[in-house]
Amino acid sequence: MKNNNKFNKTINPSGNEPPLGWWKFRKNRFITINHPAITAKEKCAFKVETILSPQEKQILEGITRTLQTSKRDAVRIAIYELGKDVFKAENFLKYADKKTKERGHTSRSVECSCRVIKTEKESAKEIAKTFEISEKEAVRLCIVWLGRKLNEINFRLTKCKRIGQEQLAREWSKEYDGSGSKLEKLKELLPGVNITRVMTNVGTRDNLGVTAIFSQKINEDIVSLFNFLGKAFLVENEDQIDLHTVLIGSGPAFFYDLLNEFEDKMEDIIDDKDMKREITILFLTSIISAIKSGENLDTLVDSVASKGGTTEAGLKFLREKNFNSIFSEAVDKGVERAKKLSMD
């Protein structure tokens, strides 16, 4: 089990890790078509109003996206939910107070008004009376309270089904048409959340991984984290993640397949399986050592391929068969598949 640290804050109290790993979707959506405020047949003939700060305006916008409703219905649902038990919001009074100095709740200038039904108007008045605040403060309290509560995983909305993060991710993936940035599409669903795409490879299990990171907001903590598992770097655009997926993510399998052929050919010389693997390791270690020298790869090829020799003959055959083009096409096919999978 991973330790709970600055990079891994998603282990729950029972010690189990959530299904989506470290960077899970932290937002949820609700299906509100059965909420009493939505199903009410009464005409919205009464007006409620308040004044919001820019941040409080963003809170209201976040509620509308989370509940998938209009601004008016978001306010109505907020009033309905708090009206069931007004004392649930007692700790939020300091944010709604017209004289508050709480960060993000000052400099109010955004007027907000909407029409509600009679019972919702009465509920707003009752909330104001209970806490001895104005009706405008009461409406603001409802908005701030619901905005905060919707971020709590155990919060329940009356007669509304919560769309979990995994389902949200699956539904978004089905709807994504491949146009634009996938992160842009996610940001529309998860406002206010900094989303990062990460692709690593099997080497991470031995701290030898190579990880590409794309984020619309540079996060050095994430780069530092993956540097513990090998080498991590930022890419400039999201399409580069698909190329990295094939070249670095799938790349080891290409080499494993080639080495498999290498070991099969060794059977004509050595029968012992362990000996063949030992030779393969020594063979690769010598190649890595040569690469570490800093020599140009073409120079290293020439250093082995003496003119008119066996190496030159083998290389000539590979080039006649367009080996380099075959490898490049294999990568292109992989990238094509990666893009398709991202849209499925």
Q: What is the mean pLDDT of residues 320-339?
A: 83
**Percentage of residues in the chain having pLDDT higher than 90:** 40
Q: What is the mean pLDDT of residues 17-42?
A: 70
The type of residue at 182 is K
pLDDT of residue 42: 92
Q: Is the pLDDT of residue 8 over 80?
A: no
Q: Is the pLDDT of residue 177 over 60?
A: no
* Span 55-91, pLDDT tens digits: 999 999 989 988 989 999 999 999 999 999 999 999 9
Q: What is the mean pLDDT of residues 143-160?
A: 91
* Span 271-285, pLDDT tens digits: 888 999 999 999 999
Q: How far apart are the first and last CA of the chain?
A: 32
* Span 188-206, pLDDT tens digits: 666 666 778 888 888 888 8
Report residue 171's pLDDT band, with 50, 70 and 90 as the boundaries.
low
pLDDT of residue 132: 95
* Span 207-260, pLDDT tens digits: 899 999 888 777 678 888 888 889 998 888 777 888 888 888 888 888 899 899
Q: Is the pLDDT of residue 343 over 70?
A: no
Q: What is the mean pLDDT of residues 107-116?
A: 94
Q: How far apart are CA 195 and CA 25, in angstroms?
A: 9
Of 102, 20, 12, 5, which is closest to residue 59 (Cα–Cα)? Answer: 102
pLDDT of residue 120: 97
Report residue 95's pLDDT band, with 50, 70 and 90 as the boundaries.
very high
CATH superfamily of 199-343: ProC C-terminal domain-like (1.10.3730.10)
Can you list the alpha helix ranges (DSSP code H) found in 210-304? Answer: 220-227, 239-244, 251-266, 273-292, 297-304
Please report the DSSP string for 12-49 in residue order. -TTSPPPTT-SS-----EEE-TTSHHHH--S---EEEE
pLDDT of residue 37: 95
Cα angle 77-81-82, degrees, rounded to a multiple of 5: 120
5-19, 125-139, 302-316, 318-332: which is most confident = 125-139
Please tell me the pTM assigned to this model. 0.47
The pair of three-digit structure tokens given for residue 290, joined into one six-digit string = 């040569």
pLDDT of residue 3: 45
pLDDT of residue 226: 87
Q: What is the mean pLDDT of residues 98-118?
A: 93
pLDDT of residue 109: 93
CA 30 vs. chain centroid, Å, equals: 19
Q: Where are the domains of the chain?
A: 29-162, 165-196, 199-343
For tokens 């907000």, the residue is 112
Three state DSSP letters for 146-209: HHHHCCCCCCCCCCCEEECHHHHHHHHHHHCCCCCCHHHHHHHHCCCCCCEEEECCHHHHHCCE
pLDDT of residue 197: 84
